[in-house]
Homo-oligomer: A and B are copies of this chain.
Amino acid sequence: VTIADVREGALGVALKRCGGRARTVKADLSNPVTIEGLSRDADVVVGALSSRLGRMALGAVAASGTPYCDISFMPEDALDDDAMVKARGGLAVVDMGVAPGMSNLLAGVIAEELSPCEMLEIYVGGLPMERRWPWSYKAGFSPADVIEEYTRPARLVEHGRIVVRPALSEPELMDFAGVGTLEAFNTDGLRSLAYTLKVPFMKEKTLRYPGHIELMRVLREMGLFSKEPVEVQGRSVVPLEVTSALLFPKWTYEPGERDLTVMRVSGTGMKDGVRTRVTWDVLDHLDQATGFTSMARTTAFPATSVARMLLDGTISGSGVIVPEMLAGRQDVLARLLRELSQRGIEYRRAQERVGSA
C-alpha cells in the first residue's frame, strides 16, 4: 500500500496507524500528472482528496488505466465524465463513502426490491456522542462543507420532478434507537440518485441534535453565513470568514473524543401486492481500539471494500459507476455488508406493512 499526501504530518499519522505497513509518498496531488504517475504503478487507487480536486483526480486516474474508487464528494456530476473515463480506458466507482455511498447503494437496493418504489428517504448525521451547549455539534469533516449544508438550497424529488427547498428547511424530530431524538433538515444530498432512480418522491435530510438547526437559522438570519462583504470600521469583511474563524475551532473534535454516525435509508412501495416499507439502519461509534472516528470508519470502509472488489475483478468494465448502479449485484452488496460487519459496522434491514391493509 502506498499512501500519498502533500502534508508530511498526515503521512506520519497514517503510517503510525497502519503499524508501518505502507509506503508513504509526499506528493502534491493537485497536479494531475503526479496522480497519473502514481496511479500507473498501482493495481487499484482509492481517492480521498478534498472535493474541489475530485474531478481532476478522476480524469488523472482514468488516464493511468488503473481502477479507481473515490470518496472525494466532488461538486460536479461525475456521470458527466463517464464518456471521458471510458475513452481513457478507466473504471471508477465514485461517491463510495457512507452518504453519498452506502446511502445510494441501499436506496438502489430498495428501489429494485419494491415494484413500484414510491418513495425513498435518506437520513444521515455525524455527531459527537456528548452534546455540549450551545452547538451540540462537532464537525467530523470539513467545517466549511458543514456550513455549505446550512446555506445551499436542497434539491429533492416530488411527483417525479426536482424541487428546490431552502437550506435548513422542514425540520422534523425523529427517534433513533441508541441515540434518542434527532432533528432532520433538508440537505442537497440526493446527487446522482435524482437522475439514476425513477422514484417519484426522494429526499435526503441531515441529522443533528435538537436545537442545533435553530441556532444555525439564527446565525444565517444574522448574516453570519454570508459571502457578501460588509463594511466594518471602514474595512471590507466577509462575515462567513469571521464565522469560520470563530466556529471551526469550537467544532473540532478533541483527540479521542467519541463521535457517532447514524443513517437510515427507507423506502415505501409495493412488494408482493402489499404496500411495504423497507428500512436500512446503521449506527456506528468511534473505535477506541484503533482511534478511528466513526466518520472515518463508515466513510472509508465501503471504499476499501469496493477497492478490493475492483482489484479482484468482482467489479469490472469501464466508465463511471455511482453506487446505486451496483444495486442489482447481490454479490457486491453481500460482500460489502460482510466486510463492514467484520469491522463492527452493522447495517440492519427491517420490513413492515404500511397504510391500510
Which partner residue on chain B sits nearest A214 by CB separation? B134
Give the residues in chain B near A233, CB-CB below 8 Å: 238, 241
**Most chain B beta carbons < 10 A, residue from A215, A237, A241:** A237
When the two chains form the complex, which single residue of B134, B218, B239, B247 contacts A242, counting CB atoms closer than 8 Å?
B239
How many copies the complex holds: the figure is 2
- Chain B residues within an 8 Å CB radius of A133: 221
- The digit string for A129-171, where 1 denotes a CB below 8 A from any CB of B, is 0000110000000000000000000000000000000000000
A18 neighbours in B (Cβ, 8 Å)? none
A245 touches B222 (CB 8 A): no
The chain A residues found within 8 Å of chain B, CB to CB, are 133-134, 215, 217-218, 221-224, 230-233, 235, 237-239, 241-242, 245-247, 250
Q: Cβ of B246 and Cβ of A224 under 8 Å apart?
A: yes
Q: How far is the CB of A169 from chain B (nearest CB, A)?
A: 15
CB pair A222 B239 closer than 8 Å: no
B241 lies within 8 A of A246 (CB): no
Cβ of A231 and Cβ of B245 under 8 Å apart? yes
Residue of B nearest to A233 (CB): B241
| Complex interface: chain B residues within 8 A of A246 (CB) | 222-224, 230, 239
Q: Determine how close the nearest CB of chain B comes to the CB of A210; give it in whole angstroms.
A: 14
With both beta carbons as reference points, the residue of chain B lying nearest to A215 in the complex is identified as: B218
A130 to B239, CA, bound (A): 28
Q: Within the complex, which residue of B222, B224, B242 is in contact with A232, where a contact is CB–CB below 8 Å?
A: B242
Residues of B within 8 A of A224 (CB): 246
Give Cα A239 to B246, complex, Å.
9
Known: A222-B247, A233-B238, A237-B237. 4 other contacts (CB 8 A): A224-B246, A232-B237, A237-B242, A239-B242
Query: CA A63 – CA B33 in complex, angstroms?
Result: 81
- The 11 sampled A-B contact pairs (Cβ below 8 Å) are A134-B221, A134-B222, A215-B218, A222-B250, A230-B245, A230-B246, A232-B237, A232-B238, A232-B241, A239-B242, A239-B246
Closest to A222 in B: B246
Task: Out of B134, B242, B250, name the residue touching A230 (CB < 8 Å).
Answer: B242
Most-contacted residue by chain B among A134, A235, A250 (CB, 10 A): A134
Bound-complex Cα distance A133 to B223 (A): 14
